[in-house]
Amino acid sequence: MPARPPVHDVDDSDLRISAPKDAAAGPLSVAISMKMALDRMGPAKTAKTLLALNQTDGFDCMSCAWPDPEPGHRHTAEFCENGAKAVAHEGTRNKVGPDFFAQHSVDDIAGRSEYWLTQQGRLTHPVVRRDGGSHYEAISWDDAFALVAQHLNRLETPDQASFYTSGRASNEVAFIYQLFARAYGTNNLPDCSNMCHESTSIALQEAIGIGKASVVLQDVYDADLIVINGQNPGTNHPRMLSALEKAKRNGATIVAVNPLREAGLLKFNNPQEPTGLVGAGTDLADVYLQIRSGGDMALYQGLAWCLLDAEDRAAAAGRPGAVVDHDFIERHTVGFAEWAEHIRGLDWDDVLAATGLTSGQIEAVATLMAASKRIITCWAMGITQHRNAVATIKEFVNVCFLQGAIGKPGAGLFPVRGHSNVQGDRTMGIWERAPKHWLDAVGAEFGFTPPYEHGLDAVDTLRAMRDGEVRVFVGLGGNYAAAMSDTEVADDALRRCDLTVQISTMLNHSHGVVGRDALILPTLGRTERDRTGGIEQRITVEDSTCSVHASRGRVAPASRHLRSEVDIIASIAEATLGDRYGIRWADFRRDYDVIRDHISRVVPGCEAYNEKVKRPGGFVMPHPPRDSRSFPTEAGRGMFTVSPLQVVTLPPGRLVLQGIRSHDQFNTTIYGLDDRYRGIHNGRRVLFISRDDLRELGFENGETVDIVSEWEDDAERRVPSFRLVEYSTPKGCVAAYYPEANALVPLDSTALKSNQPTYKWIVVRLERTGQTPDPDPEATKEPGHADAVGSDDSHKTEPQPRHLS
């Protein structure tokens, strides 16, 4: 299945490689931020937006979900380089209106790169591509809503529609979006969580009873030890660097676990302080483990073995409890004995083979953990996007339980979310598998019986569109086609739909791969004033630490034709359902307080919601494990989990590819063509590879190769013309940017239990571009096991990569 690459809008010959940086941020970060903002928005708009960004009376950054400091403790410039780029991108003076669509056909849009699409500007008018047409053309809002209603109301069953959500959506629109879908009659509510932190949600829900972080920002400042697993904060959550700097000054030790050597884990040059501008900056990682991709579960089992062994030695010396918190384990957990027995029988050859580390490296980190009373375990998509992700996160929980590192200051579990309100969307009911108590509450509040059968997630929605079982796709934000795995399958699946609807601020690839009828409905951005209903409206969001707060835009909308997301969804619902169940959609448009009143009666922890979100800084949602060391699991306690360790070996010539993002992008939105921390300039089609692999495979640094992924369905997935870049990464592990690399990820390659695409673990081979490969003697081998899985996942029989032994 050769991937159809986008038109090369950038001259690949301009690609330039320099030495990677050893520090993040600094004065260059300020200069780049301000240049982009001034170039795109001008000085007045730049000041008005950036000075309101992440302020208590301003608007929430759309760039990530990092928590804000308490009111009164925020900088005047409470934003990072990527936040400034996101604001500049949204506030651009460039416009995409009917004239643009008259010049560019749908096929032309589909063939453009994400970078080119990003540069075109803000969408200004609702447009439609009619069945058989080649171009989008203008349509009135009322006719657009009527077209959506017409398609939805003629489906044979509500389950033939799927309602996707991006993490940019506010709590208010998320709540009425799920209400609309369920009043319509389906639980098909996929969202971007299905692609980023679904493994976290499943693992934590089962192990601690709630799928969210058990820390607040103050805990990061108070920690003795912070372990950062599979996360690159310098690019993906840059404001985290300020928190890590503060933690270091308070005496914390930081351990980084990541295959690639990343500047943002090494040193932070804080541009808001003299030492960051002209001084030495702040060293971050005291220990840096460059682990093999997918070896994190083995690492944590090795750490657990060391901690149990240290406790045994301490007990023999008359100091029981010096390492292991026996009181916490006895009072608050189940399953410890079985798990400890499993860990004590660990095969260290397997641990070292899976991690690529030495026993000394693992023991050194275990020694730090044994000496620390307050430990925070952080992780991001470098953990969640593996086949064994759920079991790996449960191993993080096991080690956390072992030392009682939850439910006390300075300690806990911290999944760092990558999108600004992806966690809030789930809180508001955007979940294809919502629990019965949630559905009961929605039904009781609005007077109808919602569907109780589980719906489709992002992967299963794609399968259903491919197979003709879903015929209408509605996307509330995001770029589903480019973000999903198996790009060509995703494109073809969307084209099979009767109708695709994209509610968007900017142009993206999903606007070029469309159903027979297709709508683009332009919406307000976070930075813009929302006067829906004739009053000044505000929205609310939830960050990575369960803090809910208000957000209000400050600048005039990019076009008078824009509508808010609340307006758009309420209007679609009204056109589709009419007065069914007596739900007053027009009241939601009139005043968002009406929505929040309903939220206060439906969503646990959101009582008196309108009053709480008016407080400066908002409020923190309840979290039983954090607040009272109570665990709402099936057992009523925290659950230790046994996960057998299996080691993956690859045949000669195969590598493990992980998809990563550059410093000039946010998700699939490409701001620019530089990744200066890794030394990449004016290009994106690069493959980071170790010196040992270059030598062993017979390639030279700078050569151009095609990347080919291998999977048991025998379909060939290929992306052409990637420049090899020698980089500090473990032997056998390579990396390329997404979404360009997403074409290599088979649709059926997903994490066990969470069904999340395995963007971080794809078996590939390399071929010189333009050369016909020799016959592959390994091609007839049967597939083997793809990754380590837990015993609770052993019933799964999903397809496995070819050639693994």
For range 788-800, the mean pLDDT: 35
Q: In this structure, what CATH number is given to the domain that contains residue 654?
A: 3.40.228.10
User: In this model, does residue 800 exceed pLDDT 70?
Assistant: no
Choose among 546, 247, 504: nearest CA to 417. 546
What pLDDT does 796 receive?
A: 33
pLDDT over 90 for what percent of the chain?
86
User: In this model, does residue 87 exceed pLDDT 60?
Assistant: yes
What pLDDT does 599 receive?
A: 98
What pLDDT does 788 receive?
A: 37
For range 250-272, the mean pLDDT: 95
Q: Are 60 and 78 in contact (CB under 8 A)?
A: no
| Residue 773 pLDDT level (bands cut at 50, 70, 90) | low
Task: Assess if residue 1 is contained within a domain.
Answer: no
Choose among 203, 200, 207, 326: nearest CA to 640. 207
Tens digit of each residue's pLDDT (9 = 90 or more) over 541-590:
999 999 999 999 999 999 999 999 999 999 999 999 999 999 999 999 99
Contacts of 28 (CB under 8 A, 6+ apart): 676
Tens digit of each residue's pLDDT (9 = 90 or more) over 89-125:
999 999 999 999 999 999 999 999 999 999 999 999 9
Choose among 759, 173, 166: nearest CA to 508. 166
Tens digit of each residue's pLDDT (9 = 90 or more) over 297-318:
999 999 999 999 999 999 999 9
Task: Assess if residue 78 is contained within a domain.
Answer: yes
For range 257-274, the mean pLDDT: 92
Q: Are 591 and 530 in contact (CB under 8 A)?
A: no
Please tell me the distance from the alpha carbon of residue 686 to that of residue 692, in angstroms, as a whole number: 17
Choose among 768, 697, 779: nearest CA to 732. 697
* Residues 60 and 172 grouped into a single domain: no
What pLDDT does 12 receive?
A: 75
Residue after which a domain boundary falls, among 89, 116, 142: 89
Tens digit of each residue's pLDDT (9 = 90 or more) over 707-717:
999 998 778 89
* Residues 726 and 676 grouped into a single domain: yes
Better-scored residue on pLDDT, 168 or 16 = 16
What pLDDT does 344 receive?
A: 97
Q: In this structure, what CATH number is given to the domain that contains residue 116?
A: 3.40.50.740
Tens digit of each residue's pLDDT (9 = 90 or more) over 601-660:
999 999 999 999 999 999 999 999 999 999 999 999 999 999 999 898 898 999 999 999
| DSSP H/E element including 551 | strand 547-551
Cα separation values, 491 from 283, 351, 713, 734, Å: 44, 40, 19, 26
Task: Assess if residue 4 is contained within a domain.
Answer: no
| Residue 662 pLDDT level (bands cut at 50, 70, 90) | very high
Contacts of 246 (CB under 8 A, 6+ apart): 220, 221
Tens digit of each residue's pLDDT (9 = 90 or more) over 61-74:
888 889 999 998 89
Number of structural domains in the chain: 3
Cα separation values, 477 from 84, 118, 141, 420, 421, Å: 20, 14, 17, 12, 12
* Residues 673 and 534 grouped into a single domain: no
Contacts of 104 (CB under 8 A, 6+ apart): 135
Query: Phi/psi at 394 (nearest 5 deg)?
Result: -65, -30
Q: Mean of the per-residue pLDDT values for the chain?
A: 93
Choose among 783, 731, 763: nearest CA to 353. 731
Q: How far apart are the first and last CA of the chain?
A: 24
Three-state DSSP at 316 gives helix
Please tell me the distance from the alpha carbon of residue 366 to that of residue 360, in angstroms, as a whole number: 10
Please tell me the distance from the alpha carbon of residue 75 to that of residue 230, in angstroms, as a whole number: 28
| Residue 786 pLDDT level (bands cut at 50, 70, 90) | very low
What pLDDT does 420 receive?
A: 86
Query: What token pair was written down for 424?
Result: 């809030």
What pLDDT does 801 receive?
A: 32
| Residue 48 pLDDT level (bands cut at 50, 70, 90) | very high
Please tell me the distance from the alpha carbon of residue 170 to that of residue 562, in angstroms, as a whole number: 17
* Residues 166 and 208 grouped into a single domain: no
Task: Assess if residue 615 is contained within a domain.
Answer: no
pLDDT over 70 for what percent of the chain?
94
What pLDDT does 802 receive?
A: 30
Three-state DSSP at 83 gives helix
Query: What token pair was written down for 642?
Result: 């046994």
Cis peptide before 644 (omega within 30 of 0): no
* Residues 79 and 100 grouped into a single domain: no
* Residues 185 and 256 grouped into a single domain: no
Please tell me the distance from the alpha carbon of residue 745 to that of residue 754, in angstroms, as a whole number: 16
Choose among 293, 282, 215, 235: nearest CA to 254. 282
Angle in degrees, 0-180, between the axes of helices 27-41 and 81-90, rounded to the nearest 10: 10
- Helix boundaries (H) for 71-154: 81-90, 98-103, 106-110, 114-119, 141-153
Radius of gyration of the chain (CA): 25
**What burial letters (b/e) apply to 648-662, b meaning 16+ CB within 10 Å?**
bebbebbbbbbbbbb
* Residues 464 and 558 grouped into a single domain: yes
Tens digit of each residue's pLDDT (9 = 90 or more) over 133-172:
999 999 999 999 999 999 999 999 999 999 999 988 999 9
Q: Is 13 exposed, middle or buried (0-12, 13-18, 19+ CB in 10 A)?
A: exposed
Please tell me the distance from the alpha carbon of residue 453 to that of residue 187, in angstroms, as a whole number: 7
3-state helix, strand, coil in the chain (%, to 5): 40, 15, 45
What pLDDT does 698 receive?
A: 97
Place of tokens 């929302």: 530
| Residue 778 pLDDT level (bands cut at 50, 70, 90) | very low
Please report, as a single letter, which amino acid is at residue 704.
Answer: T
For range 13-17, the mean pLDDT: 90
- Helix boundaries (H) for 237-358: 240-249, 263-266, 274-277, 296-316, 326-332, 336-344, 348-355
Handedness of CA 71, 81, 386, 401 (dihedral sign): negative
Query: What token pair was written down for 621?
Result: 């949602």
Please tell me the distance from the alpha carbon of residue 102 to that of residue 300, in angstroms, as a whole number: 56
* Residues 156 and 216 grouped into a single domain: no
* CB neighbourhood size of 18 (10 A): 10
| Residue 523 pLDDT level (bands cut at 50, 70, 90) | very high
Q: Domain range spanning residue 717? A: 198-416+628-640+648-805
Better-scored residue on pLDDT, 9 or 288 = 288
Tens digit of each residue's pLDDT (9 = 90 or more) over 456-465:
999 999 999 9
Handedness of CA 193, 198, 200, 204 (dihedral sign): positive
Task: Assess if residue 159 is contained within a domain.
Answer: yes
Cα separation values, 105 from 220, 290, 369, Å: 50, 46, 58
Please tell me the distance from the alpha carbon of residue 328 to that of residue 388, in angstroms, as a whole number: 27
Strands 762-768 and 704-709 come out as antiparallel
Strands of the sheet with 547-551, listed across from one edge: 539-542, 547-551, 619-620
Residue after which a domain boundary falls, among 34, 65, 89: 89
* Residues 245 and 361 grouped into a single domain: yes
* Residues 784 and 672 grouped into a single domain: yes
pTM, full prediction? 0.94
Task: Assess if residue 7 is contained within a domain.
Answer: no
Task: Assess if residue 332 is contained within a domain.
Answer: yes
Tens digit of each residue's pLDDT (9 = 90 or more) over 20-33:
999 999 889 989 98
What pLDDT does 781 receive?
A: 36
Better-scored residue on pLDDT, 692 or 236 = 692
* Residues 256 and 243 grouped into a single domain: yes
- Please give the biggest Cα pair distance in the chain: 81
| DSSP H/E element including 258 | none
What pLDDT does 13 receive?
A: 78
Tens digit of each residue's pLDDT (9 = 90 or more) over 321-343:
999 999 999 999 999 999 999 99
User: In this model, does residue 76 exceed pLDDT 70?
Assistant: yes
What is the CA 144 to chain-centroid distance, rounded?
Answer: 31
Residue after which a domain boundary falls, among 61, 89, 117: 89
Please tell me the distance from the alpha carbon of residue 173 to that of residue 161, in angstroms, as a whole number: 18
* Residues 442 and 323 grouped into a single domain: no
Please tell me the distance from the alpha carbon of residue 188 to that of residue 257, in angstroms, as a whole number: 36
Choose among 565, 549, 543, 664: nearest CA to 64. 543
User: In this model, does residue 277 exceed pLDDT 90?
Assistant: no
Task: Assess if residue 747 is contained within a domain.
Answer: yes
User: In this model, does residue 279 exceed pLDDT 80?
Assistant: no
Three-state DSSP at 444 gives helix
